[in-house]
A and B are shown apart, each in its own frame.
Chain A
Amino acid sequence: MRIETHLAQIGTKKEPKTGAINFPVYFATAYEHIGGVSTGFDYTRTANPTRQVLEQSIAALEEGDAGFACSSGMAAIQTVMGLFSQGDHLIVSLDLYGGTYRLFEQVLSRYGLTFSWVDLRDLSQVEQAIQPNTKAIFIETLTNPLIQVINLEEICQLAKRQQLLTIVDNTFMTPYLQQPIKWGADIVLHSATKYLGGHNDVLAGLIVSKGEELSERIGFLHNSIGATLAPLDAWLLMRGMKTLALRMNQHLANARELALFLNQHPLVEKVFYPSFDPEGRQILTKQARGFSGIFSFRLKDENLVRPFLEHLEVISFAESLGGVESLITHPATQTHADMPDELCQKIGICGRLVRISVGIEHIEDLQQDIAQALKKADQIIRRSGLS
């Protein structure tokens, strides 16, 4: 079955009693042991029928063996991190979501876990970072916010040789564009708050695992830690996923046009979009179906940033991405505020960097909005003599 079909059919034919095409929301927390035996559902933290449909769907979409739904993307990441024990070491994408950085360095480091931050595009650096106690490689690709591309097949092969787990945060791509398990990944993570939900109205995280033993361990952690997704949110997420393919096609088309437009703009220094990075482009052409709908760009002058953001009329200045509405974020003060300046500099996150999640509005309205806001910003700083 093709992925579009899978997506549209989420939850169908699963409710034999009524035939409801749309799977019901089960709010019940407790399940009666009818005739003294469990129906397979006991307590909703452990398993909930609505959540289970979602979990089975994402497992199928990512071609993994088991899926787990969590209360947020961060909760999914923390649940997976429960696999490790004190003394373990992980190799992590240098450029990655600030919240993941915060969790690793400010919470998990207190539990005896250590992390090496490595540019995963360079395999020799990865190899050098491996220590006797290294247990896993944590990969974000595309990376956030610099949209770098990591070669999943190569890095997963390296990990296999060294008996390391590979964990891929697939938030920016979704299984519609990229299926990391096909390239050898063991675990796939999502902030489903983003493209999978797609409407900026649910906070959710998903985990997909490959292999029975690993799936069992994650299932144990999911229930024990208890950061599970609420049934209504599971239902909203499935509702969003039904239109994932359509939305992604539009996000991709709009992002491409907007990236080309900004690449020509005199006030823009650089656009971070896979098409403009020959190496990244080559890898993505092989391992994915498209370039995602998010990219970043660096303005020529830091003074432009504030008036530019404040004068946008269509696009919202808000933290998050992947929704039908276009959003612009300022990584240095929002998503990556908890990353130390030094590391930000090393990666290339500066005050002039802006990340856009391109929505499904009409492309001309988006272009015009950005053009007028940049123009106003330019006038303002010229007038105040800042430039």
Chain B
Amino acid sequence: MKKETIALHNGNEIDPYTGAASIPIYQASTYHQFSLEHPNQFDYARSGNPTREALENAIAKLEGGCRGFAFASGMAAISTTFLLFSHNDHLIVSKDVYGGTYRLLTQVLTRLGIEVTFVDTTDLQAVEAAIRPNTKGIYIETPSNPLLKVSNLSLLAELAKAYQLLTIVDNTFLTPYYQQPLKLGIDVVVHSATKFIGGHSDVVAGLVVVKEDEIAEKISFLQNSFGAILGVQDSWLILRGLKTLPVRMKNSSKSAKVIADWLEQHPAVQRVYYTGLESHEGHKLQAEQASGHGAVLSFDVGSEEKAKQILNRVRLPLVAVSLGAVESILSYPAMMSHASMPREVRLQYGISDGLLRLSVGLEDVEDLIADLEQALSVKSLLVTSEGRR
């Protein structure tokens, strides 16, 4: 079955009791046990809830994993996954991971004895060189945020196998519609489902999918013990979003390519980062390991001043933190997603003061281009917030 079909027909869309075409929202926190000896499948909603389970099964199917888990946010999913490790364990992590993941690792987990080396995971040799006797896992974000660097998942998975390391991939940017890391040999996939999977800027959620039962058991234990589970209504909303994931991804990615091509020609733009462009260093690899390039692109307008001018002048995209919605969202990594990263580290990673990130939504692409054009082409630097509605 193709993913377009799996998104709609995965065995979790129908309520078995009534035939209802949408799984009910089981708000109950606890379940009556008809017998002490033969407890029901469900006992307490933190441990298991039918609505949440429908979502967990659906995402497992889409990612091609054995089991899925839903969490209160992407960070809750990531925090729970990191609990697989113990103090004195060492992790190798993609250098330009999402700022929140960086913050969790450097300010919370290091205090608990987790050692971390941030490595450019597009460079396999650098990854291998970073492996120590106590290394236990490799955590990869590909394409990375916001520069969309592409790491080679099959090769990383092979390397990890050779050293018996667990591999974890944050698949937020491409979603299983375009990339299925488990099929490339990765052990665990994490998502901020707040983004494309939910898709409507109305739910914060995280998902984890694992390839094998042994890790599934451990995540299941941790999900229940730590308790950072996804609320029931939110589980239902994510399931609802999932149904249109393929059409949304297709449409937004198509527009993203048109916009990237256009930006690349624009005199006010110094550089465009989008893997769909042949000029992007990850273009070829991405085309091999994924079936699309996604709907996020970044572009450098040279200075903080110019970036702020554009942020002030655009009328269609929301100027906001976040991405992956039906609405286009323009954000400014230096002050938003990567604000918690020290400036020197940020610049060293190539996240410059003039970098903007655009998450392309479902608006008409010509409307988006016209809006970007008027925002980009103003020469005067004396633009004030008047330009904004």
Chain A residues within CB distance 8 Å of chain B: 27-36, 42-45, 70-75, 77-78, 82, 85-86, 99, 102-103, 106-107, 110-113, 193, 197, 200-203, 205, 220-221, 223-230, 232-233, 236, 305-306, 309-310, 316-320, 323, 327, 330, 333-334
Contacts of A73 in B (CB 8 A): 227
Do residues B78 and A202 form an inter-chain contact, with CB atoms below 8 A?
no
Residues of chain B from 30 to 46 with CB closer than 8 A to chain A in the complex: 30-37, 43-46
Do residues A71 and B230 form an inter-chain contact, with CB atoms below 8 A?
yes
B164 within 8 Å of A (CB atoms)? no
Q: How far is the CA of A70 from the CA of B329 in the complex (A)?
A: 27
Do residues B329 and A30 form an inter-chain contact, with CB atoms below 8 A?
yes
Residue in A29, A112, A319, A323 whose Cβ sees the most chain B Cβ within 10 Å: A29
Do residues A317 and B33 form an inter-chain contact, with CB atoms below 8 A?
yes
Contacts of A226 in B (CB 8 A): 71-79, 100, 206, 228
Residue in B79, B231, B312 whose Cβ sees the most chain A Cβ within 10 Å: B231
Closest beta carbon of chain B to A43's beta carbon, Å: 4
Contacts A86-B112, A193-B29, A310-B35 given; does A30 touch B222 at CB 8 Å: no
Closest to A86 in B: B113
Chain B residues within CB distance 8 Å of chain A: 27-37, 43-46, 71-79, 83, 86-87, 100, 103-104, 107-108, 111-114, 194, 198, 201-204, 206, 221-222, 224-231, 233-234, 308, 311-312, 318-322, 325, 329, 336, 385, 388
Do residues A334 and B43 form an inter-chain contact, with CB atoms below 8 A?
yes
Contacts of A224 in B (CB 8 A): 75, 100, 103-104, 107-108
Do residues B73 and A319 form an inter-chain contact, with CB atoms below 8 A?
no
State which of B100, B112, B225 has its C-beta within 8 Å of the C-beta of A85: B112
A-B Cβ contacts below 8 A, count: 212
Do residues A32 and B320 form an inter-chain contact, with CB atoms below 8 A?
yes
Do residues A203 and B203 form an inter-chain contact, with CB atoms below 8 A?
no
Question: Could you pull out 26 A-B pairs where Cβ atoms are within 8 angstroms?
Answer: A28-B202, A29-B198, A35-B312, A36-B319, A45-B73, A70-B72, A74-B227, A77-B227, A99-B225, A107-B225, A112-B87, A112-B112, A193-B46, A202-B27, A224-B104, A225-B108, A226-B75, A227-B71, A227-B226, A230-B234, A232-B231, A236-B27, A317-B34, A318-B33, A318-B43, A333-B36
Closest to B309 in A: A36
Q: How far is the CA of A200 from the CA of B45 in the complex (A)?
A: 10
Do residues B36 and A200 form an inter-chain contact, with CB atoms below 8 A?
no
Do residues A103 and B75 form an inter-chain contact, with CB atoms below 8 A?
no
Do residues A27 and B202 form an inter-chain contact, with CB atoms below 8 A?
yes
Contacts of B27 in A (CB 8 A): 201-202, 236
Closest beta carbon of chain A to B75's beta carbon, Å: 3
Contacts of A220 in B (CB 8 A): 107
Contacts of B226 in A (CB 8 A): 74-75, 78, 103, 107, 227
Contacts of A201 in B (CB 8 A): 27-29
Contacts A86-B111, A106-B225 given; does A30 touch B321 at CB 8 Å: yes
Do residues A229 and B231 form an inter-chain contact, with CB atoms below 8 A?
yes
Closest beta carbon of chain A to B99's beta carbon, Å: 10
Residue in B78, B87, B112, B113 whose Cβ sees the most chain A Cβ within 10 Å: B112
